[in-house]
Structure 1
Amino acid sequence: MTHPWFAPADRPRILAHRGLAVPDADGHAPAENSFAAVAAAHAIGADYVESDCHVTADGVVVLFHDVDLRRVTGDPRPVADVTAAELERLMAHHGGLLTLRQALESFPTVRFNLDVKADAAALPVGRLVGAHADRVLLTSFSDGRRRAALEAAVAASGGARPATSAGSATIARLLGALVARSRRGAARLLDGIDALQIPERQGRLRVLSPRLVAAAHSAGTEVHVWTVNDPADMTRLVALGVDGIVTDRADLAIAAFRR
């Protein structure tokens, strides 16, 4: 059965990458993953928001991509070394801090795609999303971290499982199986995987291919490509069979595909 996260029928799925952090008429833009960025994505009709999870020094799961605060706030400290209250003050002029609990409660119609960025965040993320398993997809570059978060979510929900996409090691093994033309190996690797979320290329390596799309679709797995900001590229990828576009410009994607 298809996971409820995939219930909207519109294709391609448009995943607002870290919300929508584009400048307004005055040239001001909220920080990525901020409350204002997620609110902006929601306001333009984005069904899906892709975000990232770290945990603060006092155990609060926050939506934040980087290990440290330097790029977003100018503060060099790691997220793990500041309290949620400190981070809230630092984010006050950058669109506002958004904790995972606030995101799930403040945007009850949004489907979240959550990348667990730190080992310490896996269990608390899983516990928080358990009650929202129908509208959360959990992922991580680390398959171990992803599985830990999934197990915690299932335990917290009483059995309901969030959707999930494959980690880097699984994707690497899948590419190897496709090169070897091992349908059985590819199918085994895709078992339990709801989506492959991949770049079109990784350096010189071409990740996306017609063979990968075909293998994924035969296993009932969707293919989402990140991070695509040019509408022409979005259209080209959809023509190749891609199911979802992860983009910083959800506004442009919605204009292109939701006419």
Structure 2
Amino acid sequence: MTHPFFTPTSPRVFAHRGLVAAGDEHAPNTFAAFAAAHAEGVEYIESDCHLTADGEVVLFHDDTLASITGDPRRVDQVTAHEMERQLADRGGLVTLEQAFDAFPRMRFNIDVKANDAAGPAGRIIGRYAERALVTSFSDARRLTALRAAAPARPATSAGRATIIRLLLAAAIRAETWASRLLAEIDALQIPERQGPVRVLTRRLIDYAHTAGTEVHVWTVNDTDRMRLLIGRGVDGIVTDRSDAALRTLG
């Protein structure tokens, strides 16, 4: 049965960390970036979470604040209040819980970036599970901890270890093995290529769809490429240009 995260919308456009258009003063993964995506009609937002020093799950990509505010400290070394102050003129801090509450019609694709964030994020996401798709490079540790903490099951994307096994299964045409790997996976979120390795293949798409798993490709900003990928059977595009993607694919 399809998880309720996946509405009938097709193809899916995921606003990568919200929407920051040319000339915008706000940073990605901020309230202003999410509001801009919402104003464009985006239904899905991709974001990342960390845990602050005082235990708040906040939406932020990097391990440190350096690239956004110039503060070299890690997110887990500052309080949510400190982050809120530093981001006040960059679009505004958003906690994970605030995101779900402030944008009740949005669905959030959350990438867990830190081990310590998995359990607290799971307890929050479990309350909004029908609007959540979770992912992490770490299948074994972060996703397992998040699912264990969540009172209800969010949709789940495959982590790195599962994707590597799936690529091997596709390469050797081991469809039964691929089906087993995909049994608990709602979405594959992958790049077209990883260095010299082609990740997205026709066989991988076919195996995923046979198992009832969607395929989303990141991060695609060229509109011609978006059209090509959707034409090849991809179900969703993760993009920095969700405004252009909606016009192109809508």
Q: Report TM bin, short chain.
A: over 0.9
Match runs of 1:16-27 below 5 Å:
16-23=15-22, 27=23
Cα deviation for residue 29 of structure 1 reads 3.0
Cα distance in 1 for partners of 2:61, 2:233 equals 29
Cα distance in 2 for partners of 1:48, 1:165 equals 14
Match runs of 1:246-257 below 5 Å:
246-257=238-249
1:10 alignment partner in structure 2: 9
Moved runs in structure 1, 4+ residues, more than 3 A? none
Q: Taking structure 2 as the reference length, what is the TM-score of the superposition?
A: 0.98
Cα deviation for residue 10 of structure 1 reads 2.3
Cα deviation for residue 214 of structure 1 reads 0.3
1:133 alignment partner in structure 2: 129
Q: Does 2:98 correspond to 1:99?
A: no
The CA RMSD measured in Å over matched residues stands at 0.7
The CA deviation string for residues 158-209 of structure 1, in whole angstroms up to 9 with x for no partner, is: xx31000000000001101111111111001101100000000000000000
Give SS of 2:72's match.
coil
CA contact (8 A) 1:49 1:112 kept: yes
Structure 2, gaps ≥5 residues long: none
Cα distance in 2 for partners of 1:29, 1:172 equals 38
Structure 1, gaps ≥5 residues long: none
2:148 alignment partner in structure 1: 151
2:80 alignment partner in structure 1: 84
Percent of aligned positions with the same letter in both sequences? 61
1:231 alignment partner in structure 2: 223
Cα distance in 2 for partners of 1:207, 1:44 equals 30
Cα deviation for residue 28 of structure 1 reads 2.9
The CA deviation string for residues 115-172 of structure 1, in whole angstroms up to 9 with x for no partner, is: 000000000000001110101001101002112111211xx3xxx3100000000000
Q: Which amino acid aligns with 1:3?
A: H
Cα distance in 2 for partners of 1:220, 1:47 equals 21
Cα distance in 2 for partners of 1:150, 1:242 equals 26
Q: Which amino acid aligns with 1:206?
A: R
Give SS of 1:33's match.
coil
Match runs of 1:52-131 below 5 Å:
52-131=48-127
Aligned partner (choices 29, 33, 36) of residue 29 of structure 2: 33
Cα deviation for residue 30 of structure 1 reads 1.3
Residues paired across the two proteins, number: 249
Q: Taking structure 1 as the reference length, what is the TM-score of the superposition?
A: 0.95
1:181 alignment partner in structure 2: 173
Aligned partner (choices 155, 161, 165) of residue 169 of structure 1: 161
Give SS of 1:20's match.
coil
2:187 alignment partner in structure 1: 195
Cα distance in 2 for partners of 1:236, 1:147 equals 34
